[in-house]
A and B are shown apart, each in its own frame.
Chain A
Amino acid sequence: MSKVQNIHLGREMEYPYEGSRPERQIAYIFDTNKCIECQTCTVACKTTWTAGKGQEHIFYNNVETKPYGFFPHGWDVKLLEMLGPGEWQDGKYQGKTIFEAAPPGERVLGYLPEEEDYTSPNLGEDVCSGDVQRGAFFQNIHNTWMFYLARICNHCTYPGCLSACPRKAIYKRPEDGIVLVDQSRCRGYRECVKACPYKKIFYNMVTRVSEKCIGCFPLIEQGEQPQCVKTCIGKIRLQGFLSRPGEEKADNPIDYLVRIKKIALPLYPQFGTEPNVYYIPPLHVPRLFLQQMFGPGVEEALKTYRSAPADKQLLAALLMFGNTPKIIHKFKAEKEHAIGYDGMSQEAVKVPFTEPFFARDLFDKKHGVVRLNIT
């Protein structure tokens, strides 16, 4: 085991390999407050990459309802139970990661899902945290709650999958940190399936090897965001690149939102893989639940999120979500618009801070009809 710096945990941790961060790290921000669980992302991904035989249960992208939705069944609660409780003190995680808690003879603490765990991917969909009592009414605090959690591979900085593969058939690209399974070398041992804490690597019973999200790398290489990001109806997603720690740029929307404003947080940072999908937590969910899921930065992140209407720079960064297929490398706030630039520093998108407002006469003289306002 080597010692590596895990910036999510605020400390060094043990990892089977030396730490080497890519030049830039593919990263995503998902705003959970905006997801409507339409599953357009899931379908876009499925039809692009996993429409073959043996891939029926493979969802590189899925959207599950928390607290009772899981795909595969119980993936997070099972591992949390195995890992046991861990405290955070002053932003530093005191508990053990999946690498530090590895049992003798293993590199990683994990479990292998059963075949049945991949059935009913929408289990728990739209199920609330509890019953709504008769006579209950809204008093600014939600008595029951649920939220949608969109999930893909986190292209972790310290991938559990990669560290467990005895054949080194999984690799992390130095140019962008995308984690890939070499389809010609994998021998289907499933050590990765067992080790990935997010269960985002799958066994294909037809090809008899493991497969995972490829970060739509052919699109990334052309400067475009992945399918699940581009097609998102709720405009909840932004994909870009995170700089190495200490090299953050304030005009890079991902650096800005994740490292500078700290508005988006990693999912289960305590697992220790330094995942690179960052979530803006849901506003109305009990804090303890959110802290278990996103770590100690939840309160501050939500406070910052609420301040967005009065913070033009922050608003400009948030307006980069879902408004262009291009990968945004830089952004800036102008008087009336937020502007995003692609990798060639060309303007890729210009979004008004305030949507233009059109008032139309109630009666359409040309067609002789009364206009109905349906929005």
Chain B
Amino acid sequence: MRSKPMFGTLLLLTALSGCPSGEPQTGSSGKLTGEVRATTIGEIPLSDPLSLAWNGTPETSVMLLPQTVAYPNLIKQSVKELRVRALADAQFLAVRLEWNDPSLDEKLEVDKFTDGVAVEVPLGDPDKTNPMMGDPANPVFILHWKAAWQRDVDRGRADVQDYHPGFISDRPPFVSGGHPYPISEAFETDNARRYLPGTAAGNPVSKIFRKWPVEELQAEGFGSLADHTYQDSQGKGVWKDGKWTVVLALPRQSPDRANPMFVPGKAVMGFAVWDGANQNVGGRKHWAPFVKVVLP
């Protein structure tokens, strides 16, 4: 574990809390509700969402709403609150997102949907940016984590035999090796990949190998989500005792001009949560409008 003592936390928070758009609220639980305050740390424990280092930064409670603006809507709300903490080091701004979810949903099949979470940051003027996926004049940056991708990273890409043990079918064309023709080994040639059409077409969703369980995206309105060529962000999620704890780490500065910069001061961030058990996917999501993030 790489947690290191924090420094200057109290002084910094006191200095920043008097921001012009109003005092943050403290709820009955003692949590912040109006803004997220990041605390500086020597090195963020990126690989351990449950690290005690996260206890040293205040928790903000973010109320979630069902998405009902664009088709298709989220009809049934199943997650009410997202608990957010933020840490910053020289390289990353990391948010730890925690929410209650009684079931771990990481399987993708026709009727199985994955849990997920995303943060959204305006790339232009926050006051002009629509928190519902931005618009062409004011695009947004999105960092999306999915439980299914976490499974891919932790335990290898889910294959047919993982979901359907003992499944046997004819030899797919042009594959190498023998049964069960693992997708991470047997489909190396272009000819074999032709029978994985999404992968052959370069669809990021169809990637066979994934280094991180997160994806950097850009949007300029509903239905416009597009992935970044360069992926600089990181993340890690853990499901334990009926709740997800997910760390999303965004580089503070990136050579990629499509990434936001996180300089000391203020930023805003929107949030979205998907509950796989309730068939949340795409626009069928829980969301929260922009929340102020105070950065050291």
A189 within 8 A of B: yes
Residue from A164, A166, A189 whose CB has the most chain B CB atoms within 10 Å: A166
Residues of B within 8 A of A53 (CB): 159-160, 169, 172, 181, 183, 186-187, 195-196
CB neighbours (8 Å) of A183 from chain B are: 197-198, 200-201, 203, 206
| Contact of B112 with A by CB under 8 A | yes
Whether B282 contacts A187 by the Cβ 8 Å rule is yes
Chain A residue at minimal CB-CB distance from B158: A205
Which chain A residues border B72 with CB–CB below 8 Å? 105-107, 164, 166, 191
Complex formed: what's the CA distance from A346 to B66 in Å? 60
Which one of B199, B225, B282, B283 contacts A207 once the chains associate, using CB atoms below 8 Å? B199
A55 touches B195 (CB 8 A): yes
Binary CB contact string for chain A from 201 to 229 against chain B (1 if under 8 A, 0 otherwise): 01111111101000000000000000000
- B173 touching A105, Cβ below 8 Å: no
C-alpha gap A107/B283 in the complex (Å): 13
Question: Is B231 in the interface zone, CB < 8 Å from A?
Answer: no
Taken residue by residue from 148 to 167, chain A's Cβ proximity to chain B (1 for < 8 Å, 0 otherwise) reads as: 00000000000000001011
| CB-defined contacts of B112 to chain A, threshold 8 Å | 115
A190 CA / B281 CA spacing, docked (Å): 9
Q: Which of A107, A112, A187 contacts B110 (CB 8 A)?
A: A112
Residue of B nearest to A56 (CB): B169
Residues of A within 8 A of B71 (CB): 16, 105-107, 166
* B198 in complex: contacting residue of A106, A166, A207, CB < 8 Å: A207
- Given A53-B160, A166-B70, also A208-B206 (CB < 8 A): yes
**B residues 268-296 with Cβ under 8 Å of A?**
279, 281-283
Q: Given A51-B172, A114-B111, A166-B70, is A205 in contact with B197 using a C-beta cutoff of 8 Å? A: no
Determine the chain A residues whose CB is within 8 A of the CB of B197 once the complex forms.
52, 183, 204, 207, 209, 211
Q: A51-B195, A166-B71 are in contact. Are A184 and B201 (CB under 8 A)?
A: yes
Question: Given the complex, which residues of B lie within 8 Å of A191, measured CB to CB?
Answer: 72, 282
For the A-B complex, the count of residue pairs with Cβ-Cβ distances under 8 Å equals: 129
Q: Which of A32-73 contact B (CB under 8 A)?
A: 50-56
Q: Which residue of B lies closest to A184 (CB)?
A: B201
- In this assembly, does B26 line the interface, its C-beta being within 8 Å of a C-beta of chain A? no
User: If the complex has contacts A53-B187, A56-B169, A114-B111, are A206 and B201 also in contact, measured as CB distance less than 8 A?
Assistant: no
CB distance from A110 to the nearest CB of B (A): 10
Q: Are B73 and A206 in contact (CB under 8 A)?
A: no
Question: B198 contacts A52, CB within 8 Å?
Answer: no
Minimum C-beta distance from A199 to chain B (A): 10
Complex CA–CA separation, A50 to B172 (angstroms): 9
Using CB atoms and an 8 Å cutoff, list the residues of chain A in contact with chain B.
Answer: 16, 50-56, 104-107, 112-115, 118, 164, 166-168, 182-191, 193, 202-209, 211
By a beta-carbon cutoff of 8 Å, the part of chain B in contact with chain A is: 68, 70-75, 108-112, 148, 158-160, 163, 167, 169-170, 172-173, 181, 183, 186-187, 194-203, 205-206, 222-223, 225, 279, 281-283
Between-chain CB contacts (< 8 Å), 11 pairs: A104-B75, A105-B68, A105-B71, A112-B279, A186-B203, A190-B110, A203-B109, A207-B196, A207-B198, A209-B198, A211-B197
